[in-house]
Chains A and B, each alone.
Chain A
Amino acid sequence: MKQIAQALFAAAVAFAVADPAVAATLDTVKQRGVLNCGANGQLPGFGLPDSQGNWTGLDVDFCRAIAAAIFNDAAKVKFVALTATNRFAALQTSDVDVLARNTTWTLSRDAQGLNATGINYYDGQGFIVRKALKVNSALELNDAAICVQQGTTTELNLADYFRANRMRLKTVTFASLPEALKAYETSRCDAFTTDASGLYSTRLQLAKADDHVVLPEIISKEPLGPFVRQGDDQWFDIVKWVHFAMINAEELNVNKANVDEQLKSDNPEIKRLLGAENNFGEQLGLTKDWVYRIVKLVGNYGEVFERNVGQGSPLKIARGLNALWTKGGVQYAPPIR
Chain B
Amino acid sequence: MARPWESALGVPIYRDPKYRGIALQIGLCAALGYLAYAAVQTAADNLARSHVASGFGFWNVTAGFDISQTLIAYSPQSSTYGQAFWVGLVNTLVVAVLGIVLATILGFTVGIARLSKNFLVERLATCYVELIRNVPLLLQLLFWYNAVLKALPEFAASVVLPGGVLLNNRGLFMPRPLFADGTHILAMLAAVVLLAVAFNKIAGRSKGFWGAISVRAASTLLIVVALPIAAVLVTTAPLDFDYPQVGRFNVRGGLEVLPEFVALVLGLVIYTAAFIAEVVRAGVRSVSRGQTEAAQALGLTRMQTLRLIVIPQAMRMIIPPLTNQYLNLTKNSSLAVAIGYPDLVQIFTGTVANQTNQPVEVVVITMLVYLSFSLVTSLVMNLYNARYALVER
Residue in A15, A145, A159, A162 whose CB lies within 8 Å of B38: A15
Q: Which of A19, A147, A168, A183 contacts B46 (CB 8 A)?
A: A19
Total number of B residues with any Cβ neighbor in A under 8 Å: 48
User: B51 and A190: CB pair below 8 A?
Assistant: no
The answer to whether A150 touches B351, judged by C-beta atoms less than 8 angstroms apart, is: yes
- B349: A residues at CB distance < 8 A: 85
Task: Tally chain A residues at the interface, Cβ within 8 Å.
Answer: 55
Please determine whether A85 and B350 come into contact, CB atoms closer than 8 angstroms: yes
Residues of A within 8 Å of B66, CB to CB, are 155, 158-159, 162, 169-171
Query: Which of A63-71, A87-95, A284-292, A320-328 forms contacts with chain B?
Result: A87-95
Within 8 A of B (CB), among A197-253: 229-231
Total cross-chain contacts (CB, 8 A): 139
- Report yes or no: B259 in contact with A171, Cβ–Cβ below 8 A: no
Which residues of chain A (15-41) have a CB below 8 Å from chain B? Answer: 15-16, 18-19
A143-B249 CB under 8 A given contacts A15-B38, A93-B50, A159-B66? yes
Which 3 A-B pairs give the minimum distances between C-beta atoms?
A113-B51, A151-B354, A171-B66
Complex contact B359–A187 (CB within 8 A): no
Complex alpha-carbon distance, A322 and B137, angstroms: 45
Interface residues of A (CB under 8 A from B): 8, 11-12, 15-16, 18-19, 84-85, 88-89, 92-93, 108-109, 112-114, 133, 140-145, 147, 150-152, 155-156, 158-160, 162-163, 168-175, 179-180, 182-183, 186-188, 190, 229-231
User: Known: A187-B169, A229-B50. Is A15-B35 also a contact (CB below 8 A)?
Assistant: yes
Least CB separation from A153: chain B residue: B355
B338 within 8 A of A: yes
**Bound state CA distance, A143 and B170, in angstroms?**
12
- A175 and B350: CB pair below 8 A? yes
Given A112-B357, A159-B64, A179-B338, 5 more contacts at CB 8 Å? A145-B250, A170-B66, A173-B350, A179-B340, A188-B170
Complex CA–CA separation, A133 to B77 (angstroms): 28
A113 vs B54: C-alpha distance when bound (angstroms): 11
- Docked pose: A85 CA to B349 CA in angstroms: 9
Interface of A is mostly: mixed
The reply to whether B52 and A93 contact each other, CB–CB distance below 8 Å, is yes
Cα A29 to Cα B64 in complex, Å, equals: 39
- Given A88, A162, A170, which contacts B68 in the complex, CB threshold below 8 Å? A170
Indicate if B372 sits at the interface (CB-CB under 8 A): no
- State whether B169 touches A186 (Cβ < 8 A): yes
Contacting residue for A187 out of B31, B35, B155, B252, CB 8 A: B155
Contact B35 A186 (CB under 8 A): no
Task: Decide yes or no whether B342 CB sits under 8 A from chain A.
Answer: yes
B34 within 8 A of A: yes
Stretch at the interface among B89-97, B146-154, B176-184, B307-315: B146-154
Chain A residue, CB-CB nearest to B64: A156
Given the contacts A151-B351, A169-B66, A172-B68, A19 and B169 also touching, CB distance less than 8 Å: no
Q: Which residues of B contact A231 (CB under 8 A)?
A: 49-50
List A contacts of B150 (CB < 8 A). 186
Query: Which residues of chain A come closer than 8 Å to B262, judged between CB atoms?
Result: none
**Residues in A whose Cβ lies below 8 Å from that of B355:** 151, 155-156
B65–A155 contact, CB under 8 A? yes
- Is B68 a contact partner of A171 (Cβ separation < 8 A)? yes
Most chain B CB within a 10 A radius of its CB, from A150, A182, A231: A150
Q: How far is the CA of A2 from the CA of B262 in the complex (A)?
A: 60
